[in-house]
Amino acid sequence: MQHAPQTLDAPRPPATAGEPFRLVASRDCQSGQCVFPAIPDSSPSNPRYEPVQLSEQAVLYSFTVIHPNPKSGQAPFVLVYADFPEKARVFGRLRLPEGRRPQIGMALSAVADGAGQYSFIPAAESDK
Amino acid sequence: MSTEVYIAGAAMTAFARHTDKSMQDLAQFAALGAMTDAGIGAERIQAMYNANVYGGMVLGQVLMRDLGLGGPALYNVENACASGATAVHLACQALRLGVYDTVLVWGVEMLTKLGGGTIPMQRNDYKTDLYAAQGMTLPTVYAMRGTRYLHERNEAPEILARVAVKNRAHGALNPLAQQRKAVTLEEVLQSRPVAEPLTLLQCCPSMVDGAAAVVLTTKRPAQGRPAIRVVGSAVQSGRIEEGCDNILDAEITARTARLAYEQAGLGPEDVNVVELHDAFTIAELLYYEALGLASQGGGADMLRRGDTALGGRVPVNPSGGLLAKGHPLGATGVAQMVEVTWQLQGRAEGRQVEGARVGLTQCTGGGIAGVDHAASSVHLLAA
């Protein structure tokens, strides 16, 4: 069963690709720490957690640039860990303007990426 | 640990692309080699432990059927890259409890059957599925640690490359290693980028096959060579990563090592030789500290001083490690014990750590999102 990341304020229409939106995590009721993606509703573990909507901005904690095997013809892409103020870390792709490098500490925003997926962009660009 | 457990026999195949052999061939070669090394026949084997990740159901029975070893209990063990070490751990438990007095443990894997590339992540997990769709692979996870390490420690990528230079130099001395070519820092840094800051020569080869086996017994071997005891054996599972954990703390490895040291009544300062899980260069640097071989923040200097090279204070991965020897997953943990056994018995020709009396092996099993690692195993062996 595939679980797409959720947004809290459903049933609003799904976000359009590229549009900033808010990811939903689960907060451990005892520790106050969050996990992403949210624990599935059907999970017996669910009572241990409460849903929490993550802030619009996160901070880049670490990154890598993946260089696919040249035989694949795929272009390099950036993957990041993004830390949210709600004590949640989210893994995902970072879409950067050509020529720009990722940097630890840069501000990021999550955007809808179609098919229940998301990606990150530099926060300043999402605010435009 | 009241009942002593000895490694009476140890053997392994070369780690290589064995495309002309079957998994049965490899496992039987290692099993027979370990029994011959122990000087025992099949009638002495009271139980068997088969470690493997991708081989399928009741694999151990498939592997040993034609050898005529069937009959005794045979346990099939899977714990990702820690499968082999976990099998040894379970065997030690049974031996100490008196369930058996002599058992055979082997690990085997044929990664060439998967066709190369990064090994697949676990697919029965909603979180791993989501993150795999985003691009998570095992190199990705280690590369993230590498980037953060360089940032926090104010180091250049050269420190990662040094691990590859050291272990590949060791591998060049090991006839059983897959990659036997020493490399320079420049060659490592200029090899194809895979997942920054990791380059190709900083990743263990993914097209490799191999098997390793040990005979474990509670009867003290009398073979005219040092008897090797398993004095510490620990396995732990990964705790859920909540919040914004420090990805450099290798928490599960530190926790497992503490248990193994405590069992053995030994500390890191007693260890003379180490075989650890250097699937990617950054891992070795983190494990120096998690295993207590270096102080917190002291791993890079330890490497730069040459402490962990052959001839240094505590050589790490004299076999070449996963980076050079290769990493056929199910075989790796057992092969580490084979290497340390040979080191403690003075049988590691060409790469011998002189005077080694205590050795440590460490394996981690990964492949899922949301934990530091899924499994960790640390063993301490003593002559």
In a domain, B104, yes or no: yes
**Positive or negative CA dihedral for A104, A126, B130, B139?**
negative
In a domain, B123, yes or no: no
**Mutation target among B118, B125, B126, B154 for the A interface, most CBs of A within 10 A:** B126
Res A6 pLDDT > 60 = no
Per-residue pLDDT tens digits for A79-120: 999 999 999 999 999 999 988 999 999 999 999 987 778 999
Q: What is the DSSP string of A21-32?
A: ---EEEEETTT-
Under 8 Å CB pairs connecting chains A and B tally to 92
In whole angstroms, what is the distance from residue B271 CA to residue B287 CA? 14
Q: Which residues of chain B have pLDDT under 70?
A: 1
Query: Residue A80's closest chain B neighbor by CA?
Result: B144
Say what the pLDDT of residue B37 is. 98
> Is B66 in contact with B313 (CB distance < 8 Å)?
no
Q: Which fold has domain A24-127?
A: OB fold (Dihydrolipoamide Acetyltransferase, E2P) (2.40.50)
Q: What is the ipTM of this complex?
A: 0.93
Strand-strand pairing, B73-77 and B47-51? parallel
For residue A67, give the nearest of B130, B194, B242 by CB distance.
Answer: B194
Res. A20 pLDDT band, cuts 50 70 90: low
In whole angstroms, what is the distance from residue B20 CA to residue B33 CA? 20
Residues 332-351 of B with CB under 8 A from A: none
Asked if B116 is an interface residue toward chain A (Cβ–Cβ < 8 A), one would say no
- Domain locations along chain A: 24-127
Res. A2 pLDDT band, cuts 50 70 90: very low
**φ/ψ (deg, to 5) at B381:** -115, 145
Say what the pLDDT of residue B122 is. 83
Within 8 A of A34 by CB-CB distance, chain B residues are 242-243
Say what the pLDDT of residue A14 is. 46
Say what the pLDDT of residue A126 is. 46
How far is CA B87 from its chain centroid?
A: 12
Coil, helix or strand at residue A79: strand
Domain boundaries, position B13: 6-114+204-382
- Where residue B343 sits, what CATH number does that domain have? 3.40.47.10
Q: What is the mean pLDDT of chain A?
A: 86
> Is B243 in contact with A87 (CB distance < 8 Å)?
yes
Query: Residue A88's closest chain B neighbor by CA?
Result: B243
Per-residue pLDDT tens digits for B109-162: 999 998 888 888 888 899 999 999 999 999 999 999 999 999 999 999 999 999
Say what the pLDDT of residue A16 is. 65
In a domain, B188, yes or no: no
In angstroms, the separation between the Cα of residue A91 and the nearest Cα of chain B is 7
Asked if A39 is an interface residue toward chain B (Cβ–Cβ < 8 A), one would say no
Residues of B known to be catalytic = 81
Domain tally for chain B? 1
In angstroms, the separation between the Cα of residue A64 and the nearest Cα of chain B is 5
Res. A12 pLDDT band, cuts 50 70 90: very low
Residue B347 CB coordination number (10 Å): 15
Say what the pLDDT of residue A17 is. 67
In angstroms, the separation between the Cα of residue B20 and the nearest Cα of chain A is 26
